Each structure stands twice: as structure tokens, then as C-alpha cells.
């Protein structure tokens, strides 16, 4: 009897926390609406680190040149001149002579993070006080800059946007949407609602003088992930990380299981190294643990296991689907199945994150370890 009660209460508590996170995220998120540029809009520099040609590269480039902002410059950064994306960027710049844009090539090795290294030259050449670091696969809406600037407040140190997966092609891309949208974005917005905002590297709006006064872009090399370093830097200044009210799309196209596993384990290991106390409870997210506890309670009490499983999964996934529908995010007949597969993967991803070692990011081998361990090895 004690096992039945304990397992049942624990399962119920986890399901309630799941519902609470969805409610908190929903209160912070808004459906996308068009924002006009404000009077006296400040000039903005947008730095876009690029590598390789992806399915939507042409479209994301076109979007970057079509923003509704009176004064902005685009700075494309590529590490190597032979990269095939150079030709596409040059062609896009030639097609849009009215948008100030330039391509910088070179690799400044200030960290083990290839993306950050690629951004250094762009940061140093940015002409304006407001700078956006934007991943090349972000599908910028016309009012991209407006949404970022609207989230800046007097106590803000950084504004960013988590990616929202869209245009999946195939089941595994649906699974990636399930990871990005109603799990990771949801918990990030719930965290912000609780005063625990943390950075996301997809789109980051900085006040350049503020960051330059605190170490410049080199300060983001303090951690293996630039968004983790950004979060700690901003919190150390007693400022906040704010999220845009309507996060931006990342079109996915095709995905494979291997790509999702590699990406999710890399991100999990980065979180484990940079924020271990916040990462440890991640094993409790998703439906796997509450389902297991509910089945233990049901078996002990002699209750139907299929009925118990159906009720738990309905309580877990129906609110997720409602969140996606309410915010205009991708939703399909395969979404619930994708969520089930995602949650089946989560315990394995969480366990894998506790083992140190090298991972690959766009062809670059990266060893993910604590900063303290690296410093000890350097001393030795």
C-alpha cells in the first residue's frame, strides 16, 4: 500500500509540474503579430556565422535582406573561403545593393567553440551599438529586429529567441519538432516566468558597449557554449535574459535518427557541464518517469495497466498539443507519436550526457568538459 501511494503521488506531482510548465510558458508566449518599426529606431548590426549550404539557405538569406528596419547592416562570417556558402552569400549581396552587407572570411581561435570563433571578426567590425548574433538557419520574419528590440527593458542584459521547428519532412523531423517546440521552448519560457531566464544562441541581441565593457565577445569563451557563458555573464551583472514574445522559426527539412541523437546528446552534455544542478532534474521531464511510476502504482493496486497508461499519456500530451495549436506551431497527425518517441529517447540522452568525451559539431570535434577540469589539466 505504501508503494502504491508513493508511486501514485510522485507520478501525479510530475504530471502537475508538466501542466504548470505549459501554463507558465503559455502566459509568456504570444501568437505572432506584425510589429512596425518604432519612431527613432536605432541602427543595428546583424552578424550571421555561416558554414555549408543547407536546404533552406537561399530562403534564409533572402529573409535577412528583406527586414523591415530603417537602418541595419548584415555581416556574414565564414571561416574558410572555399566553403560553398560563400558563393550564395556573394550572390545575395549583389542582388541587394541597397542593404549594407559584407562577407568576412577567417577563423579567430579564441575558444574551442567554432561558431564563436567565426563570430569574432564580425563583432569587431560591427558599426552599431546594437548587435544581433543570428544563426544562419533562422528564418527571420520581416519584423525580426522589432521583436528582439521590444523585449529589451531597463534591467535587460540580453534578449534571445529559442528556435521553433517548422517545415519538417519525414517522421524524424517531426520528432525534432517535438524536442524543440513543446519541450525545450516550453521549459525555457517557463524558466523565464520563474525568473530563471537563460540564453539561447540562435538569436541574441546585445548592447555592444555593455558587452565590450565586460570583456567583449571574448568573454563568451568562458564556457564551451557561448549561450551558457552569456547567461552567467548577464546574471553576474545582476541583469536579466529576456525572451522574445513570439520565437522565430527554424525550418528543418529532412532529419534522421542519427542527426537527432547527435544533436540532442551534444546539447544535453553542454547543459550538464555548464549548469549541472539544473540539468540533473531533466530526467523527470517528459512522460517516461511519470508513466513508469503510474504503472508501478497501478500494478500494486490491481488497476488496469492499459487504462492507466492511456490516462497518463493523455494528461501529458493533450496539453502539449493545445500549446502548439494555441501558439501556431507545427502540429500534425504524427505529432503525438513523435512526442512518445522523444520521451522514450530522453532517459537515454540524459544518461549519455553524464559521460565526458568528444562530440562533433558541423565537422568540428569538440571535447565537452568542465572548465575547472580543463584548468587543472593546463596547470599539470
Give the tens place of pLDDT for each residue, 228-271.
999 999 999 999 999 999 999 999 999 999 999 999 999 999 88
Q: How far is CA 333 from the centre of its chain?
A: 25
Q: What is the pLDDT of residues 265-292, one digit of tens each?
A: 999 998 898 889 889 999 999 999 999 9
Mean pLDDT estimate for the chain: 91
Rounded Cα distance between 254 and 371, Å, is: 35
What is the tens place of the pLDDT at every residue in 200-209? Answer: 889 999 999 9
CA distances from 326 to 31, 157, 181, 244, 320 (A): 8, 29, 12, 17, 10
Please tell me the predicted confidence (pLDDT) of residue 97. Answer: 95
49 vs 361, more confident = 49
pLDDT computed for residue 377 by the predictor: 35
Domains within the chain, CATH numbers bracketed: 2-25+274-368 (no CATH), 32-261 (3.90.550.10)
Residue 32: its pLDDT value, please? 81
Q: Who's near 319: CB < 8 A, 6+ residues apart? A: 18, 19, 22
pLDDT tens per residue, range 333-352 = 999 999 999 999 999 999 99
374 three-class SS: helix
**Is the pLDDT assigned to residue 373 strictly greater than 50?**
no
pLDDT in tens, 88-130: 999 999 999 999 999 999 988 888 889 999 999 999 999 999 9
CB of 74 closer than 8 Å to CB of 90 = no
Q: What is the band of 364 on the pLDDT scale with cuts at 50, 70, 90? A: low
Triad 97, 102, 104: Cα angle to 5°: 160
Amino acid at each position: 500500500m505504501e508503494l502504491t501511494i508513493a508511486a501514485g503521488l510522485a507520478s501525479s506531482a510530475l504530471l502537475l509540474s508538466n501542466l504548470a510548465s505549459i501554463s507558465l510558458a503559455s502566459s509568456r508566449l504570444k501568437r505572432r503579430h506584425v510589429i512596425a518599426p518604432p519612431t527613432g529606431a536605432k541602427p543595428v548590426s546583424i552578424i550571421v556565422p555561416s558554414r555549408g549550404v543547407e536546404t533552406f539557405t537561399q530562403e534564409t538569406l533572402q529573409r535577412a535582406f528583406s527586414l523591415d528596419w530603417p537602418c541595419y547592416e548584415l555581416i556574414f562570417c565564414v571561416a574558410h573561403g572555399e566553403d560553398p556558402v560563400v558563393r550564395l552569400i556573394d550572390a545575395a549581396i549583389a542582388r541587394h545593393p541597397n542593404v549594407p552587407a559584407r562577407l568576412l572570411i577567417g577563423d579567430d581561435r579564441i575558444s574551442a567553440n567554432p561558431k564563436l570563433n567565426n563570430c569574432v571578426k564580425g563583432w569587431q567590425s560591427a558599426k552599431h551599438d546594437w548587435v544581433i548574433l543570428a544563426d544562419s538557419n533562422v528564418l527571420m520574419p520581416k519584423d525580426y529586429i522589432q521583436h528582439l528590440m521590444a523585449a529589451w527593458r531597463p534591467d535587460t542584459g540580453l534578449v534571445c529567441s529559442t528556435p521553433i521547428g517548422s517545415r519538417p519532412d519525414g517522421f524524424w523531423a517531426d520528432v525534432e519538432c517535438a524536442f524543440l517546440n513543446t519541450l525545450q521552448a516550453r521549459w525555457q519560457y517557463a524558466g523565464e516566468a520563474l525568473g530563471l531566464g537563460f540564453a539561447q544562441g540562435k538569436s541574441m541581441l546585445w548592447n555592444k558597449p555593455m558587452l565590450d565593457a565586460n570583456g567583449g565577445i571574448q568573454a563568451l569563451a568562458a564556457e564551451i557554449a557561448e549561450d551558457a557563458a552569456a547567461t552567467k555573464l548577464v546574471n553576474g551583472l545582476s541583469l536579466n535574459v529576456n525572451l522574445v514574445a513570439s520565437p522565430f522559426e527554424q525550418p528543418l527539412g529532412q532529419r534522421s535518427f542519427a542527426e537527432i541523437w547527435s544533436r540532442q546528446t551534444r546539447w544535453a552534455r553542454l547543459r550538464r557541464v555548464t549548469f549541472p544542478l539544473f540539468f540533473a532534474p531533466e530526467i523527470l521531464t517528459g512522460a517516461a518517469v511519470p508513466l513508469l511510476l503510474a504503472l508501478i502504482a497501478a500494478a500494486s493496486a490491481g488497476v488496469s495497466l492499459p487504462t492507466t497508461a492511456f490516462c497518463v499519456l493523455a494528461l501529458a500530451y493533450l496539453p502539449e498539443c493545445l500549446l502548439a495549436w494555441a501558439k501556431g506551431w507545427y502540429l500534425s497527425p504524427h505529432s503525438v507519436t513523435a512526442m512518445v518517441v522523444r520521451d522514450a529517447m530522453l532517459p537515454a540522452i540524459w544518461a549519455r550526457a553524464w559521460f565526458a568525451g568528444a562530440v562533433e559539431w558541423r565537422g568540428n570535434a569538440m571535447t565537452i568538459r568542465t572548465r575547472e577540469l580543463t584548468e587543472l589539466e593546463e596547470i599539470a
